[in-house]
């Protein structure tokens, strides 16, 4: 017999867990939400929000340094990391308080402690058992490292990078994915000499090759070093710095080494495997309705194979709450989830890369690239980049890829185009305000619809 019962018990209070809790409460369920740390999880406290605050501070530093190109005489006196952290932490604190208020307003029972799934629909926390009619597993992810590379001291993960109280003079970033290029971008704006090491042939390797080339070109202009297609072999540290050895035999030296080789599923130690939940390489295996191998047990967020994005977990949480309530929501299309890398410049995408589209639809796939050199607002912002569309043969637009400062703000329209299976002819008549960067999306669709206007060549 359990000590406490509810309609729904959720293990993990990050984006997926709290979204499920709030939506389930709105649908009339009693909800118990278990979290060993703070409500909001990695995204709010150690991920998305604090990282993007640093990136905005970095943008301000660049604006101060480069004001003269706009006719404004400014200089950058330096970066006060204590002030940066005060700004960053203030944002996190306000959002955290707001989230706590929402949990209270939804009458969600919050249990603080480390939970263990003990089978059936029961979770145990410090000797107390909580049983639900259904359970959601939402324990998130952790920063991975490589075999033989131990975190500590000058070898840090993103969590420690967010708390550094100084700006490194030199930094090596191991990993050229989203986390790696974002921190490289921040540090370069703050004045750090940065080198990225990526084992795969290009930066942001999960993006369309066009986006990688655009970002690499921009990083060269910013004097951010990167070495692609080369593997790390060893790192040694002492009181003065870190020395990294590459497979090529080359050695690099820096003040810190940021290990940004991805995030692993946080499933160990929670009783999943022992209670019969099917795992694959540590991830929880689910069907398209996010049901696990155990009856009435669901999983959401980073522990489910796929994109490790807060908004994916959030939507999965909403989906499962509605599924449990019998609303029969439509399954989530993973390709329809927008992706943004908030570096300078930004990379934003939704749908298929050109290579993936050709695998699915054949060689007749159409692609069109519109350079932001023809976009007035982009020129005002002095950003370079482009919009690339990928279109199925005689079909809709199946991929949208954008590179440039602030293009992450365009991904809302881009994901509507993909998810509503719009043809170029559907988007071409839509009016985009002038001057905005959204016009670049309009121009690209006009061109694919056979009526290019601001297009050269």
Report the b/e string of 317-326 with b at 16+ CB within 10 A. Answer: bbbbbbbbbe
Q: At what angle do helices 48-65 and 178-190 cross, to 10 degrees?
A: 40
Distance CA 71, CA 382 (A): 13
Are 215 and 345 a contacting pair, CB within 8 Å? yes
Are 337 and 416 a contacting pair, CB within 8 Å? no
The SS3 assignment for 243 reads strand
Are 184 and 224 a contacting pair, CB within 8 Å? yes
Strand-pairing partners, residue 117, are 123
From the CB of residue 112, how many other CB atoms can be counted at a distance below 10 Å?
14
Side-chain-side CA neighbours of residue 361 (13 Å) = 21
Distance CA 303, CA 283 (A): 5
- The catalytic residue among 344, 434, 454, 456 is 434
The yes-or-no answer on residue 434 being catalytic is: yes
Are 143 and 127 a contacting pair, CB within 8 Å? no
Sign for the CA dihedral angle at 163, 65, 216, 231 comes to negative
Residues involved in catalysis: 434
């Amino acid at each position: 017999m359990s000590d406490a019962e509810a309609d729904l018990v959720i293990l993990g209070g990050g984006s997926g867990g709290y979204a499920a809790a709030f939506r389930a409460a709105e649908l009339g369920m009693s909800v118990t939400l278990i979290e060993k740390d703070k409500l909001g999880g990695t995204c709010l406290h150690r991920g998305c929000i604090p990282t993007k605050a640093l990136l905005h501070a970095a943008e301000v530093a660049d604006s101060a340094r480069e004001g003269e190109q706009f006719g404004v005489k400014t200089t950058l006196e330096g970066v006060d990391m204590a002030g940066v952290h005060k700004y960053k932490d203030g944002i996190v604190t306000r959002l955290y308080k707001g989230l706590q208020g929402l949990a209270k307003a939804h009458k969600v029972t919050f249990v603080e402690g480390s939970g263990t799934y003990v089978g059936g629909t029961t979770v145990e926390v410090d000797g107390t058992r909580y049983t639900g009619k259904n359970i959601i597993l939402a324990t998130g992810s952790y920063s991975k490292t490589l075999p033989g590379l131990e975190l500590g001291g000058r070898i840090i993960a993103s969590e420690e990078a967010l708390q550094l109280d100084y700006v490194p003079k030199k930094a090596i970033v191991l990993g050229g994915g989203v986390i790696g290029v974002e921190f490289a971008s921040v540090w370069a704006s703050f004045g750090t000499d940065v080198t990225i090491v990526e084992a795969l042939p290009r930066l942001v390797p999960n993006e369309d090759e066009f986006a990688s080339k655009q970002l690499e070109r921009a990083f060269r202009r910013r004097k951010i070093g990167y070495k692609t297609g080369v593997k790390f072999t060893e790192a040694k540290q002492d009181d003065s710095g870190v020395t990294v050895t590459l497979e090529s035999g080359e050695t690099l030296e820096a003040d810190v080494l940021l290990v940004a080789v991805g995030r692993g599923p946080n499933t160990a130690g929670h009783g999943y495997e022992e209670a019969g939940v099917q795992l694959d390489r540590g991830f929880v295996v689910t069907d398209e309705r996010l049901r696990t191998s155990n009856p009435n047990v669901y999983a959401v967020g980073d522990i489910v194979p796929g994109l490790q994005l807060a908004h994916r977990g959030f939507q999965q949480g909403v989906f499962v709450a509605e599924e449990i309530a019998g609303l029969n929501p439509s399954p989530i299309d993973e390709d329809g989830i927008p992706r943004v890398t908030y570096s300078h410049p930004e990379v934003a995408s939704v749908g298929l890369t050109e290579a993936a589209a050709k695998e699915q639809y054949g060689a007749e796939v159409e692609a069109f690239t519109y350079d932001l050199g023809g976009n007035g607002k982009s020129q005002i912002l002095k950003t370079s980049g482009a919009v690339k569309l990928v279109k199925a043969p005689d079909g809709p637009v199946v991929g949208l890829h954008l590179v440039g400062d602030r293009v992450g703000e365009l991904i809302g329209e881009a994901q509507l185009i993909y998810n509503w299976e719009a043809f170029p002819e559907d988007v071409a008549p839509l009016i985009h305000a002038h001057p905005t960067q959204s016009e670049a999306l309009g121009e690209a669709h006009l061109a694919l619809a056979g009526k290019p206007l601001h297009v050269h060549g």
